[in-house]
Homo-oligomer: A and B are copies of this chain.
Amino acid sequence: MHTWKTLSKETILDFSKFLRVELHAVELHDGQVIPDWPWLVTPDFINVVAVTDAGQFLCFRQTKYAVAGITMAPVGGYLEAGEAPLAAAKRELLEETGYIAESWQALGSYWVDANRGAGQAYLYLAQDAHQVAEPQADDLEEQELILLDKAAVAEALDEGVFKVVPWVAAVALALRKMGE
């Protein structure tokens, strides 16, 4: 079983650091060439399921442009240029919640789109978190930090209250890791 080979890349839309579209010429495993395979270059990002030293999960009630109504969300954000995923995760946790965590476990890194790329998601479980500062969120959206126990997070997950794919993946993997 052989992966495809990228023969060339051409940028057809260079909108900003948040979005670039490329066309790739791709050679398939059987030698066939697709000359115009679209590929999305969007920033890699982290999501952190953070749990306090008292076992409370740090979650946001927030609005997001794609989502109808209000969604629950874990900590998340884009990697800055040259930033390592774990460093981004720790930075976003501190900025968005004012917490730091003693125990970090990677829940894996995954492509958003198997065909088009669209960045990689780096997912983490951060436990033994405690507050050291006030939140300094710079997100454009309104958000409210709430603390939930594990049963409430599991119920929110199962009822579709986390409305975005990587958030569901992060929360479900975190609950597995914690033996839920």
A137-173 CB contact bits vs B (8 Å, 1 = yes)? Answer: 0001110100000000000011010111111110011
A104-123 CB contact bits vs B (8 Å, 1 = yes)? Answer: 00001111111111100100
Q: A160 to B163, alpha carbons, bound, how many Å?
A: 22
Instruction: Find chain B residues with CB under 8 A from A177 CB.
Output: 158
Instruction: Find chain B residues with CB under 8 A from A109 CB.
Output: 160
Instruction: Find chain B residues with CB under 8 A from A172 CB.
Output: 168-169, 172-173, 176
Q: How far, in Å, is A152 (CB) from chain B's closest CB?
A: 15
- Interface CB pairs A-B, < 8 A, 26: A1-B63, A1-B70, A1-B144, A2-B63, A3-B65, A3-B67, A4-B65, A12-B13, A12-B15, A15-B21, A19-B38, A29-B63, A29-B141, A42-B116, A66-B117, A67-B114, A108-B168, A110-B165, A111-B165, A112-B165, A114-B163, A158-B177, A168-B169, A168-B173, A172-B172, A172-B173
Residues of chain A touching chain B, judged by Cβ–Cβ distance below 8 Å, are: 1-4, 12-13, 15-16, 18-19, 21, 26, 28-29, 34, 37-38, 40, 42, 61-71, 73, 108-118, 121, 140-142, 144, 157-158, 160, 162-169, 172-173, 175-177
